[in-house]
Structure 1
Amino acid sequence: MSLILFNKPFQVLCQFSSQEGRECLADYLKIPGIYPAGRLDADSEGLMLLTDDGQLQHKIAHPDHKEAKTYLVQVDGVPDAAAMARLQAPLDLGDFVTKPCRAARIAEPKWLWPRNPPIRARQDKPTSWIAITLEEGKNRQVRRMTAAVGLPTLRLVRSSIGPFSLSTHPLLPGEFIDVPAYSRHAGK
């Protein structure tokens, strides 16, 4: 059994087949028989887990067994206490209400790589960083949450899934490592 930690670059599709010539997982991972345990939007970056074990993939990705996931979010503007409180509380996004989560303002992570292409900079509007930890993961949820509190997402990097983190497993975009000892953590 393999568990692959992969740092998905910006604009890479979270699948093994390309669409219209866009980069996809197959451009980076030449390991037969592995599948993503969860997804990450093309315009998001960061940690993905892939495995060749169907039970482990189910344990990581299924809503009944959701692993906590932390996202580092660069937002347009500066969050006040009210915005931070709204992010942490259940938030009505129209088609669903989020579960409570952890959200905190953070300094820009020193270990974070520059994005290519870079985020636009506007002198008249500052940006801020927020760490959001969820135990659910609906489509574009973090982006929708920050927009709902008046802080559009400029950059979204998933930094951790369960016990795995890019701060402790430093990988540049497109790099991956195999973590064979995960079977003990998974209770196998």
Structure 2
Amino acid sequence: MPKILLFNKPFDVLCQFTDELGRPTLADYIHQPEFYAAGRLDRDSEGLLLLTDNGRLQQQITDPKFKLAKTYLVQVEGEVDTLALKQLSQGVRLKDGLTLPAEAKRIEQPDWLWPRNPPIRERKTIPTSWLALTIREGKNRQVRRMTAAVGFPTLRLIRSQIGPFQLGALQPGESQMLTTNLLK
């Protein structure tokens, strides 16, 4: 049965195993030979990253035709309003086209959330709010571009779930090995 590694990618870590500039990479955390990332998270994003030792499973996780839902917890600048949530839920026009409809809801800041290092920028006169956003596609920096397009720039982005796989209690830099029958 294929193996999958759930990894909580810390902020400022690259989703690759080498870097010519010496920046932190997956190699600083993942010591499983023959495991490769199934998808990616930007350097300035945190949370769930899946790695696998099975090429077919890696393809299935990343291929848009399988439409594995990805859920993000997003801290944005400003108080998210009903109009913005409606726009996100209907799809947002970006430079590269209309996004698929997303599931969007306002949430309280998760009480289990670890502090980010370095902390996000805070402005005394501008509040922040949190939302849970679930998408079924993966355009480059899509969540950040979607929230900005509806008037609420992203300050912090944490992926909490990919398909049936959840971040759970994993802390930044921690991983958990599972076997899966997800292959189709």
Short-chain TM bin: over 0.9
Matches within 5 A, 1:27-176: 27-166=28-167, 169-176=168-175
Shift of 1:81: 1.1
| Cα distance in 2, alignment partners of residues 18 and 136 from structure 1 | 27
> Contact 1:59–1:66 (CA<8 Å) still a contact in 2?
no
| Cα distance in 1, alignment partners of residues 95 and 140 from structure 2 | 13
Name stretches of at least 5 consecutive residues in structure 1 with no aligned partner.
none
Partner SS, residue 151 of structure 2: coil
**Aligned-pair identity (%):** 59
Alignment RMSD: 1.1
> Contact 1:146–1:152 (CA<8 Å) still a contact in 2?
yes
| Cα distance in 2, alignment partners of residues 59 and 78 from structure 1 | 37
| Cα distance in 2, alignment partners of residues 95 and 143 from structure 1 | 14
Q: Which residue does the alignment assign to 2:176?
A: 177
Partner SS, residue 70 of structure 1: strand
Name stretches of at least 5 consecutive residues in structure 2 with no aligned partner.
none
Number of residue-to-residue matches in the alignment: 183
Q: One-letter code of the match for 1:111?
A: W
Partner SS, residue 97 of structure 2: coil
Residue 79 and residue 22 in structure 1: after superposition, are their counterparts in 2 closer, same or farther (change >3 A)?
same
| Cα distance in 2, alignment partners of residues 103 and 19 from structure 1 | 38
Shift of 1:94: 1.5
> Contact 2:60–2:183 (CA<8 Å) still a contact in 1?
no
Pairing 1:8–2:9 present = yes
> Contact 1:6–1:176 (CA<8 Å) still a contact in 2?
yes
| Cα distance in 1, alignment partners of residues 111 and 59 from structure 2 | 33
Shift of 1:187: 4.7
Q: One-letter code of the match for 2:171?
A: L
Partner SS, residue 144 of structure 2: helix
Partner SS, residue 7 of structure 2: strand
- Which aligned segments of 4 or more residues in structure 1 are displaced greater than 3 angstroms? none
Compute the TM-score of the two structures, normalised by the length of structure 2: 0.96
| Cα distance in 1, alignment partners of residues 159 and 77 from structure 2 | 18
* Cα distance per residue 1:72-123 (max 9 Å; x no partner): 0000001111111111112110212100110000000111111011112222
* Cα distance per residue 1:161-183 (max 9 Å; x no partner): 111112xx311100001012x12
Larger strand share, 1 or 2: 2
Shift of 1:53: 0.3
> Contact 2:4–2:177 (CA<8 Å) still a contact in 1?
yes
> Contact 1:75–1:155 (CA<8 Å) still a contact in 2?
yes
> Contact 1:76–1:125 (CA<8 Å) still a contact in 2?
yes
